[in-house]
């Protein structure tokens, strides 16, 4: 019961702090969402323009497609390229698997991976903007000044030991020991 109540308080505090944190950062999120909306609108507009061009100038694209196929065949039958493919079969097998349209682990998963990396990059950009915003920097400065005002050498020693508890060796050891205890 003690751990259940303790975890409930921690869970509620975590959600309240996340709400407070993201509530203060709503302006930054609105800016990024508007940029994303403009990007998506531009992207779909570009797709419509490309579709219209393809629809109206089909013979031109068939001609360009035949030229590209000829170039591809010339590259494939090139002796140097055949030698390179023969010397690196694992690389070309990997590329073939990544571009395979027949199964999900081919082209679909590759495109999803790149989309995930792009979204992750955008997310870290938002986080960086939030962290470097004036409100958070000012709060950090105030907290640092408060700690500096109440600094005590004995407390510095105590908190140094608390900081050492966050080292990876201690965390891994504690996780292993607690897992064994809970397993028993």
pLDDT score at 56: 75
Of 11 and 36, the structure prediction assigns the larger pLDDT to 11
Kindly report, residue by residue over 135-169, the tens digit of the pLDDT: 777 887 888 888 888 788 888 888 888 888 888 89
pLDDT digit string, tens, across residues 104-117: 888 899 999 999 99
Q: What is the pLDDT of residues 39-60, one digit of tens each?
A: 777 888 888 888 887 777 777 7
How many angstroms separate the Cα of 79 from the Cα of each of 68, 73, 82, 88, 96? 19, 12, 5, 14, 20
Q: Higher confidence at residue 34 or residue 78?
A: 78
Residue in 28, 41, 35 with CA at minimum distance from that of residue 129: 28
Average pLDDT, the chain: 83
Q: Is the distance from CB of 121 to CB of 32 less than 8 angstroms?
A: no
Total Cβ atoms within 10 A of residue 122: 14
Report yes or no: 32 and 119 within 8 Å, Cβ to Cβ: no
Which pLDDT does position 32 carry in this prediction?
A: 66
**In this structure, what DSSP letter does residue 83 have?**
H
64-72's contacts with Cβ under 8 Å and 24+ in sequence apart are none
% pLDDT > 90, the chain = 15
Please say if the pLDDT value at position 98 is more than 80: yes
């Amino acid at each position: 019961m003690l751990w259940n109540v303790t975890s409930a308080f921690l869970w509620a505090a975590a959600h309240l702090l996340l709400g407070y944190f993201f509530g203060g950062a709503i302006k930054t999120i609105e800016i990024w969402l508007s940029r994303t909306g403009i990007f998506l609108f531009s992207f779909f507009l570009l797709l419509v323009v490309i579709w219209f061009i393809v629809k109206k100038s089909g013979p031109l694209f068939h001609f360009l497609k035949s030229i590209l196929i000829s170039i591809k065949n010339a590259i494939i039958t090139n002796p140097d390229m055949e030698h390179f493919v023969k010397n690196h079969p694992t690389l070309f097998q990997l590329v073939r698997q990544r571009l395979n349209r027949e199964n999900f682990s081919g082209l679909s998963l590759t495109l999803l991976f790149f989309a995930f990396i792009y979204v992750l990059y955008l997310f870290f950009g938002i986080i960086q903007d939030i962290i470097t915003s004036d409100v958070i920097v000012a709060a950090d400065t105030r907290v640092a000044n408060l700690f500096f005002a109440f600094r005590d050498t004995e407390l510095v020693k105590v908190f140094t030991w608390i900081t050492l508890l966050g080292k990876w060796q201690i965390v891994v050891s504690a996780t292993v020991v607690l897992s064994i205890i809970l397993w028993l």
